[in-house]
Amino acid sequence: MKIKSSIELVEEALKDIKTISPDEAFDLKNNEKCNLIDIRDIRELQKQGEVENAIHIPRGMLEFWLDPNSAYFKDGKVDIKKEIVLFCAGGLRSALAAKSLKEMGFEKISHVDGGFGAIKNSKFKII
């Protein structure tokens, strides 16, 4: 049995999902065309700061909070008519999460290349 590495999983995900730049994400958010979702752990937000007006959904709860049939569903947390733009610290977890949401049936889904590391050096305001 061959076990795939986490890097192999990320590489496969990147072939299947849409990757956007921090500037593209900023424009989408600024024009109210997306849900900008930070999937980092709460401790990462406390230590490194948050992106102003981003929605925080921990990676471990993402699929459950967005599944209308889940007991953990957060109705109204995300506008599913708008693109879902995910980011994590560096772009690896968000790539896997974007692929997972795509597999759930979400169509307008992307992740930010470079994650929070790239976002904090862009036009976004960090609070």
SS3 of 108, please? coil
Find the mean pLDDT for residues 91-119: 97
Position 48 in a domain? yes
Position 127 in a domain? no
Predicted confidence (pLDDT) at residue 80 exceeds the cutoff of 90: no
At 25, the amino acid letter reads A
Token match 């590489």: residue?
11
Position 126 in a domain? no
Predicted confidence (pLDDT) at residue 17 exceeds the cutoff of 90: yes
Q: How far is CA 45 from CA 8, 36, 122, in A?
A: 27, 15, 17
For residue 5, the model assigns a pLDDT of 96
Q: What CATH number has the domain bearing residue 35?
A: 3.40.250.10
Position 125 in a domain? no
Domain count, the chain: 1
Find the mean pLDDT for residues 93-122: 97
Position 92 in a domain? yes
At 112, the amino acid letter reads V
Residue 115 and residue 111: Cα distance in Å, rounded? 8
Position 35 in a domain? yes
> For residue 60, what are the domain limits?
6-119
Find the mean pLDDT for residues 10-32: 97
Residue % of the chain over a pLDDT of 90: 98
CB atoms within 10 A of CB 85: 26
Radius of gyration of the chain (CA): 14
Position 10 in a domain? yes
Position 87 in a domain? yes
